[in-house]
Structure 1
Amino acid sequence: MENRMATPMTRGEAAVVSTNKVIRNTYMLLAATLAFSAVVAGASLALQLPHPGLIITLVGYFGLLFLTTKFRNSGLGVLCVFALTGFMGYTLGPILSAYLSLPNGSMIVMQAMGGTAAIFLGLSAYALTTRKDFSFMGGFLMVGILVAFLAGLGAVFFNMPGLSLAVSAMFVLLMSGLILYETSNIIHGGETNYIMATVTLYVSIYNLFTSLLHLLGVFNND
């Protein structure tokens, strides 16, 4: 019987194995955090908890994001991800409560959920199957998100509904681009930390969903 010695993997093979591991871990953690966030949002909705407000939301989000980034290479990073997504789920509960109180609120929420799922799955599948490199979008997305974020704050502080609507439309486009960019980043080895990849995709999905809620609410005259 012929004896075959195991040969070490080439650098390219090792990179493929590492990339596949990051993809698998990212989507497993993303699924878990989305489920956890949905449970927290459901509890917040059922208990009719008040929205924490813009300042607490921003402090909580950026604070937990900082901790997640700091501990991204340890087990504490996973706990921080669940803390972050749970907090965002809590902030989503009062938003859903406001929409569900409308005459056709259930339809609006379901349409937003369906649209978010379709966009995320479609863009992820496209990036994974075509394996195109969307790294060129990085600079544009960074600037676009910053501009949209500042414009959103301006719309809140100065009570400008038209600007708020424009920001929601911008976020739909920007978050769609971010899904393509981050998925491509994982595939091509630009993102090797599945915790940070999960956070980026989760935030994209969250902002996409809330932006679609806003747009659909306006289109339904609510």
Structure 2
Amino acid sequence: MENRLSTMTRSEASVLSSNKVIRNTYMLLSLTLAFSALTAGLSMAMGAPRLGIIVTLVGYFGLLFATSKFRNSGLGIVFVFALTGFMGFTLGPIISAYLSLPNGSSIVMQAMAGTAAIFLGLSAYAVTTKKDFSFMGGFLMVGILVAFLAGLGAIFFEIPALSLTVSAAFVLLMSGLILFETSNIIHGGETNYVMATVSLFVSIFNLFTSLLHLLGFMSND
């Protein structure tokens, strides 16, 4: 009897912990999305040019490392906003380039709507069904690494077809990452809401930019 009660107590504690991580993650994610939108708008208003690939990668991985290192302290929150704000700033010139096209505003709005629909739909599915998507972890890690390297190749060697292929792959990979990370939180695999927020934010960011690229291509722009 005591063992059964002890098991139930541990189970309830696990559920409460998961619910807390989910709540904190989505709260922080909402704030970082708003902040990145603000920095993107600021870079657009300033007419900031696109940062070079080297500067972008160094800034991203440097801030990501700092966020991971301080994820269990208050500095982790500071670096989360620094990271997402930096990513938003790099997004501004990209959005400006699309808005300068004849139907650019339509492309941007479609990409935003598509990103929101995919994220909310997949998150709701993972939360309501409580299915375990941990089996996707290895595949996603390898897939993202391969797509990332292919994306660098497409940039340096200027291969448009490869770039489009990478964008399509990232749409699928980021969708999978949303399912994986949400499932990971629910089942107690991820207990740090700072890192959970970063993972979901990066998924949303890459999903949006990939859809933007694909929609622009389909619109012949």
Band the TM-score falls in, shorter-chain normalisation: over 0.9
Long gaps (5+) in structure 1: 1-6
Q: Tell me what 1:82 maps to.
A: 81
Which deviations, in whole Å up to 9, do the C-alpha atoms of 1:86-145 show, x marking residues without a partner?
000000000001000000000000000000000000000000000000000000000000
- Percent of aligned pairs with the same residue? 80
Q: Which residue of 1 aligns with 2:156?
A: 157
> When the two structures are superposed, what TM-score results if normalisation uses the length of structure 1?
0.96
Instruction: Please report how far the alpha carbon of residue 47 of structure 1 lies from its aligned counterpart in structure 2 after TM superposition.
Output: 1.1
Distance 1:114 1:166 in 2: 21
Residue type matched to 1:22 in 2?
V
Structure (1/2) with the larger helix percentage: 2
CA offsets 1:119-175 (integer angstroms, 9 cap, x no match): 000000000000000000000000000000000000001010000000000000000
Matched residue count: 216
Corresponding residue for residue 209 of structure 1: 208
Q: In the alignment, is residue 14 of structure 1 matched against residue 8 of structure 2?
A: no
Partner residue, 1:55: 54
State how far apart, in whole Å, the 2-side matches of 1:141 and 1:35 are. 27
Matched, 1:35 2:34: yes
3-state secondary structure, aligned to 2:188: coil
Moved over 4 A (4+): none
Instruction: Provide the residue aligned with 2:117 in structure 1.
Output: 118
CA-CA distance at 1:52 after TM superposition: 1.2
How far apart are the structure 2 equivalents of 1:157 and 1:23? 39
The letter of the residue matching 1:39 is: L
TM-score (norm 2): 0.96
In structure 2, C-alpha distance between the alignment counterparts of 1:203 and 1:47, rounded to whole Å: 24
Alignment of 1:175-190 (within 5 A): 175-190=174-189
In structure 2, how many angstroms separate the alpha carbons of the residues matched to 1:16 and 1:143?
Answer: 30
Aligned residue identity for 2:38: V
Structure 2 segments unaligned to the other structure (5+ residues): none
